[in-house]
Structure 1
Amino acid sequence: MTFISPRRYRPRLLNALLGAGAMTITATAAPGAGHAADTGSFTPAQRQEIVEIMRNALKTDPTILSDAITALRNNANAAQQNAARSALESHRADLLAPAASDAILGNATGHTTVVEFYDPRCPYCRKVLPDLDRLTREDRDLRIVEKVIPVLGQNSLIASQALVAAFVQGGQPAYFRMQAAIMNDSVTPTTDRMRTLATQSGLNAATLASDMNGPKVTAILQANMELARAIGLDGTPTFVFNARQIIPGAVSYDELKKAIAQSR
C-alpha cells in the first residue's frame, strides 16, 4: 500500500496555490502593479496576502485540500507504476528464467512464472506458504520461484544463510526440508539453532554451518538482493507475475489466483 502524507507534499501544494494566487493578483492589480507577479517574484506584503487568501479558501472549502492531495497521490502512484513497469521490462530475463540456485514450487517447466521475494522471519511470508502450496497443486502449469532476501536484520540473515546453505548441500529437497523447519520455528535464529534444525532435517549440520558464511551462499543472497533492489522492492513478501505485475505485501489466496490469471 502506498500512503502519501499531506505533510510531505505541502511545499508542492503551497507552490501550486501560490501560482494560482499570482494569476489572481496579475488579473486584479492596478496597471503598473503587476510586474512582480508577472515575473514570479512577490513582495512580502503580496505573499502575506496570498497566504491569507489560501487560508480563507481552505477554511470555507476544505475540498480544495483533499482534491489537491488526491491529485498528488494519483500522480505519485502513476509515476511508481511507470517505474515498476520499466524495471520489470529491464529485468524480464532474470525474472522469467530461474537461477540454478532458486528453489521452485510446482512445475519447474511451467509457462506461468511467479517470483516470490521473501524473508524467512517475515510473518506474512510464513502465513502465505500454505496458499502457495495450494496454488501449485491446483495449477499444473504454475511455477513459483523463491528468492530469499534477508531484510529484517541479523536474525533474518542467519535464517537466510541456513536456507541457501541447505540448497547448496542438497538441492531442492534439502532446501524445502530446511524451510519447513525454519519457517515453523519460534526460537531466535543462531548458528547453533540452525545446526539443530539441519540435523532434524536430515542434513549435515557441520557442513551447513560452514557453508552459511561461505562465498557461494554470500553470492546467492547478494544476487537476490540486487534483483530485489532493481525492481524497487520495498517489503516482503513481494510477488512478480510473469515479469508483468508486482504485488507487494500480504495477499490472499484469491488475490494471488486472480493476479496469476491476469498475467497469462
Structure 2
Amino acid sequence: MTLPVTDTALIATCMAAAALGVVVLSGAGGSAPVDIPADEQTVQETTQDTPGAQPLSDTVAVDAEFGEKVRSYLLQNPEVIFEAVAEYEMRNTASQADMDLALIDANYDKIFNDGYSWVGGNPDGDLTLVEFMDYQCGFCKRAYPEVTSFLEQDGNVRLIIKEFPILGPESELASRFAIAVKQLAGDDAYGEVHSALIQYEGRYTPELLTSLAEDMGLDGNDVLAMLDDDSITEILSENRMLAQRLQISGTPSFIMETEFLRGFVPADTLAMVAETLRD
C-alpha cells in the first residue's frame, strides 16, 4: 500500500533530519560539553557496563569530511530520501505479509472451520472470506453492501461471520442476540437478523431486539432469555482470543484465504484479491 503524500513527506523529512543530525554531531568536534540529567547519566552508565553495549558517542561518531559529503549529497539529491522510504515501505509490506501468512497458518482451523460461526455466500465456494465485525461499527455498516455485492457478482465464495463486539455494551447485546437467534432458529434466521442489525442506524436495546425477533416469527422472550447462555459467552470469548492471536484490534477485518484485509474494503478490491488468489 502506498503511503499518502503527506505521510511519505513526513517520513522523508524525519529521515533527512536524522541523517543530517549525524552530520551535525560529527561536525561538532565533540568539544562542547552537554549537561546530562542524573537519570540519563544512570542509563548511560548502565549501558556502558552492559556486555556488548556501545557508548552513545561510539554509535554516532562519523568522520567530519565524510559527514559533510553526506550532507552535501542529500541536499543536492533529496529524491534519494524518497527512494529510501519506498524501499523501506516495500520491505515492511513484505515482512507484514510473511507475518500474516504465518498467523493464518497457525490458526487455520479456528479461522475457517470453528464449527459455530455462521456460513453464508456459497458454502461450497472455492474461496472463503472471513469477516470480524461489530454491529455498531460504521465501517462495518459501509462494508455490508460491498461484501454482499461481491458475493453476488462472484458466486463462488464462502462467507464466514465472526461476531467481534468491541464497541461497548450495545455491540455485545446485538452480537449475543444474533448468536442466540442462530442457536434457536438456525442459519437462515441468523442471516436475516444479521442483515437487519448491520443496517440498523439506531440504538440496540432489548425492546428493539424483542420486536425484531417477533417480526421474524420468534418468541422475543425466549431469545432474550438465552442472551447470557454460557455457550454464547464461550463463542464470543473464542472470537476475541482468536482476534488477539491474529493481532486484530479493529473492525471490520477480513481474511480471504491467505490474505489479510484490515479495515473497510470495497467490492472491486475484494474481487481483485479473489482473482489474484485464483491465478
After TM superposition, the score normalised by the length of structure 2 is 0.71
Contact preservation (8 Å) 2:147, 2:266: no
**2:225 maps to which of 201, 210, 227:** 210
Change (3 A) 1:88 1:21: farther
**1:251 maps to which of 250, 256, 265:** 265
Structure 2 segments unaligned to the other structure (5+ residues)? 30-53
Contact preservation (8 Å) 1:182, 1:197: no
Higher mean alpha-carbon deviation, 215-224 vs 194-203, is at 194-203
* Deviation, structure 1 residue 124: 2.5
Contact preservation (8 Å) 1:174, 1:203: no
Map of 2:160 onto structure 1: 145
* Deviation, structure 1 residue 95: 2.7
Structure 1 segments unaligned to the other structure (5+ residues)? 29-38
Higher mean alpha-carbon deviation, 60-69 vs 100-109, is at 60-69
Q: Does 1:90 align with 2:102?
A: no
The 5-angstrom pairing of residues 70-109 of structure 1 reads: 70-97=86-113, 99-109=114-124
Contact preservation (8 Å) 1:149, 1:224: yes
Contact preservation (8 Å) 1:84, 1:232: no
Map of 1:194 onto structure 2: 209
Map of 2:255 onto structure 1: 240
**1:122 maps to which of 125, 131, 137:** 137
Change (3 A) 1:60 1:197: same
Map of 2:277 onto structure 1: 263
**1:173 maps to which of 188, 193, 196:** 188
Map of 2:237 onto structure 1: 222
Residues matched between the structures, number: 247
After TM superposition, the score normalised by the length of structure 1 is 0.75
- Cα shift readout 1:48-104 (whole Å, capped 9, x = no counterpart): x89x9699667666546545544444443333222111101112233332x332112
State the distance in 2 between where 1:80 and 1:115 align: 19
Change (3 A) 1:60 1:127: same
* Deviation, structure 1 residue 145: 1.0
Change (3 A) 1:92 1:59: same
- Supply the AA of the counterpart residue of 1:185: Y
Map of 1:32 onto structure 2: none
State the distance in 1 between where 2:56 and 2:244 align: 42
- Supply the AA of the counterpart residue of 2:216: S
Contact preservation (8 Å) 1:105, 1:136: no
Report the identity percentage: 22
State the distance in 1 between where 2:120 and 2:69 align: 57
**1:160 maps to which of 165, 168, 175:** 175
